[in-house]
Structure 1
Amino acid sequence: MHSKIKELSDKYLPDAIKIRRYLHQHPDLSFKEFETTKFIKRELDKLGIPYESPLETGCVGILEGGQKSDRVIALRADIDALPIQEEGEAKSEFFSKNKGVAHCCGHDAHTANLLAAAKILKDLQDDIEGTVLLVFQPGEEKLPGGGKLLTETGFLQEKGVDAIFGIHTSPMHKAGTMATKVGPLMASTSEFEVEIIGKGGHAARAHETVDPVVLAAQYI
């Protein structure tokens, strides 16, 4: 099976590269991935893989294996881009065509990878035990996050997902390799608000005031 997967990976690599470059040229912002979603659905239609749309953008392909089993595994890729103007000379022929929006976090590659995986799994469908969900997640870059919203719909729970696997590109590792570890692996961000309350007064008697600017600077 390993050699077969490797053979299929080599077969679909040119398609994955082509798709990645197309997506890089046509990025969509978080929760506005309408064109990206249409593209993904067209690709799934070509493969004969049905899908559902629990959220307004993104979708979940459903590949039922030929071997009966209650096991359900999900493969996940984020599909949104960032509000950044792409600049530079390298690979400029693949630059974003959408002004002020660019794939600068690798989600174009993640989506292309998952579509390539869909093709491989479709070819191996008869040998698969259980069901594979292909989760194309919107809004990874913007809180509360598409992953959280998808979970809150109850869709994954209804499907009985046993495990979810996702990957992230990294320039720090050799091409063709994967890195993992037990426990937390990559950092993420969150948002919170802090209210700093000052006390006004006369500049000549600053010692009687509470300067929120100084407090904010100390806090930072």
Structure 2
Amino acid sequence: MSETHETRYCEVTDLTDARPQLDEIRHHIHQHPELSYEEAATSRFVAEKLEAWGYDVTRNIGGHGLVASLKAGTSTRSVGVRADMDALPIQEQTGLSYASVHDGKMHACGHDGHTTVLLGAAQQLAKTRNFDGTVHLIFQPAEEAGADSGAERMIADGLFERFPCQAIFGLHNHPGVPVGTFGFRAGPLMAACDTVKVRIVGRGGHAARPHLAVDPVLVGSSIVMALQSVVSRNIDPNEAAVVTVGSFRSGHAANVIPEDALLEMSVRSFSPTVRETLENRIRALIASQAQAYGATVEIDFIRGYPVLVNSAAETEFARQIAEELVGPEHVIAPFPPIAGSEDFAYYLQKVPGCFVRLGNGEGRPMLHNARYDFNDDNLTIGAAFWTRLVERFLTKERA
């Protein structure tokens, strides 16, 4: 639906006067980071802002999650927009005037920015009410948890039964892409991420008498090397997958063959079929390698977030909104698949929608880096995008 002289939707310039306030909000949240499951103060800060702007706020959903609802007009249509609130266990090294005041805790993924962007849209929507229907703004805790996350908990707490949404949208900043540039991809966008923990049980002994021991370091080394064949020889070359051993721990002395060794690995994939193949092959390979050396193994295969799959219609709709707002020259579609994972995937298993990437600037530190900082130039751009998306999704009926 194209814009006509009868209807005007939000532009970035409509948020210009709000920029100082948005900067202040973002810097406050950045300065007071809270880890997954601990976001009590952040949730309270956000809720108080929303209540002051006239939203009906429901707190403590799935932990510290909250939903702010606003209805305008008479339509029964509804849409959800989500932002995450939690920080990471990282010691900040930015040197910013608003750097974290909590040692070992930092907003190193931009959730402070995501929350502020949605607050900016919330204030603009409350002011203009240029829509017909109900908007549910979802402020989610514990995205960084990796398992038993905020999205899972909010869904289990009846999120979509209590706050029905015909579609849901979310956003994440993307360092390395020009600021204000939006990225869209229908279908699989972000990978499933599983964690595998392996305990190799050998038989300890003296370093000078290896024939009387079963060396778990040797077994572990063989397993690490064999795992390199899983993707290259078991996965279709047209599919994407990653198997990375990130931790290998064993022993404490040069002259002692240890009793056991511990391996931890990250496994990423973009389809359920590939995910199953990876698990089956990893389990079989580890067991056979251990058996070949006379050791035993304990394997804990922990399923993490599923593949994030954007629905086609909602992705195309969101892309159109971005092109209207910033022009097609600032839109990348299709955006390349991302090996990172996101618990927004759980929402998309329940409701159609789209997860959007927003460039955080070229030459800036990557996510989860101690020197990372959300680009404040995105505050008004992101807020205008969400405002316009809600206005267009819940377009007022016109004669």
Q: TM-score range by the shorter chain?
A: 0.7 to 0.9
Higher mean C-alpha displacement, 206-215 vs 42-51: 206-215
In the superposition, relative to structure 1, how do residues 35 and 64 fare at CA in structure 2: closer, same or farther (>3 Å)? same
Higher mean C-alpha displacement, 184-193 vs 166-175: 184-193
Q: Following the alignment from structure 2 to structure 1, what is the Cα–Cα distance between the partners of residues 192 and 108?
A: 16
Question: Aligned partner of 1:83: which letter?
Answer: P
The answer as to 2:40 corresponding to 1:8 is: no
Question: Aligned partner of 1:149: which letter?
Answer: R
The structure with the largest strand share of the pair is: 2
Does the Cα contact within 8 Å between 1:74 and 1:161 map onto a contact in 2? yes
1:122-201, aligned counterparts within 5 Å?
Answer: 122-125=126-129, 127-142=130-145, 143-187=147-191, 189-199=193-203
What is the TM-score normalised by the length of structure 1?
A: 0.87
Q: Following the alignment from structure 1 to structure 2, what is the Cα–Cα distance between the partners of residues 168 and 128?
A: 25
Question: Aligned partner of 2:81: which letter?
Answer: L
Choose from 96, 101, 107 the match for 1:103.
107
Higher mean C-alpha displacement, 40-49 vs 3-12: 3-12
SS at match of 2:42: helix
- Deviation by residue 1:104-135 (Cα, 9 ceiling, x = unmatched): 1000000000101111221232x323211111
- Deviation by residue 1:128-185 (Cα, 9 ceiling, x = unmatched): 2321111110011112210111111122233222221111111222222211111222
Question: Aligned partner of 1:141: which letter?
Answer: E
The answer as to 2:101 corresponding to 1:94 is: no
The alpha carbon displacement at 1:215 in A equals 2.2
Identical aligned residues as a percent: 38
What is the TM-score normalised by the length of structure 2?
A: 0.50
Choose from 19, 25, 35 the match for 1:19.
25
Is there any run of 5+ residues in structure 2 with no aligned partner, and where?
A: 1-6, 225-399
Choose from 64, 75, 78 the match for 1:68.
75
The alpha carbon displacement at 1:29 in A equals 1.1
Does the Cα contact within 8 Å between 2:81 and 2:137 map onto a contact in 1? yes
In the superposition, relative to structure 1, how do residues 201 and 48 fare at CA in structure 2: closer, same or farther (>3 Å)? same
In the superposition, relative to structure 1, how do residues 2 and 10 fare at CA in structure 2: closer, same or farther (>3 Å)? farther
Q: Following the alignment from structure 1 to structure 2, what is the Cα–Cα distance between the partners of residues 73 and 14?
A: 28
Is there any run of 5+ residues in structure 1 with no aligned partner, and where?
A: none
In the superposition, relative to structure 1, how do residues 197 and 153 fare at CA in structure 2: closer, same or farther (>3 Å)? same
Q: Following the alignment from structure 1 to structure 2, what is the Cα–Cα distance between the partners of residues 190 and 135?
A: 26
CA RMSD, aligned part only?
Answer: 2.2
Match of 2:57 in 1: 51
Question: Aligned partner of 1:135: which letter?
Answer: I
Does the Cα contact within 8 Å between 2:79 and 2:167 map onto a contact in 1? yes
Higher mean C-alpha displacement, 181-190 vs 160-169: 181-190
SS at match of 2:90: coil
- Deviation by residue 1:61-114 (Cα, 9 ceiling, x = unmatched): 111132412x2211111100111111144xx20111112211010000000001
In the superposition, relative to structure 1, how do residues 38 and 161 fare at CA in structure 2: closer, same or farther (>3 Å)? same
Does the Cα contact within 8 Å between 1:29 and 1:81 map onto a contact in 2? yes
Higher mean C-alpha displacement, 208-217 vs 53-62: 208-217
In the superposition, relative to structure 1, how do residues 39 and 8 fare at CA in structure 2: closer, same or farther (>3 Å)? same
SS at match of 2:26: helix
Q: Following the alignment from structure 2 to structure 1, what is the Cα–Cα distance between the partners of residues 207 and 180?
A: 63
Does the Cα contact within 8 Å between 2:62 and 2:155 map onto a contact in 1? no
Pair member with larger Rg: 2
Does the Cα contact within 8 Å between 1:83 and 1:102 map onto a contact in 2? yes
Does the Cα contact within 8 Å between 1:72 and 1:161 map onto a contact in 2? yes
Question: Aligned partner of 1:128: which letter?
Answer: F
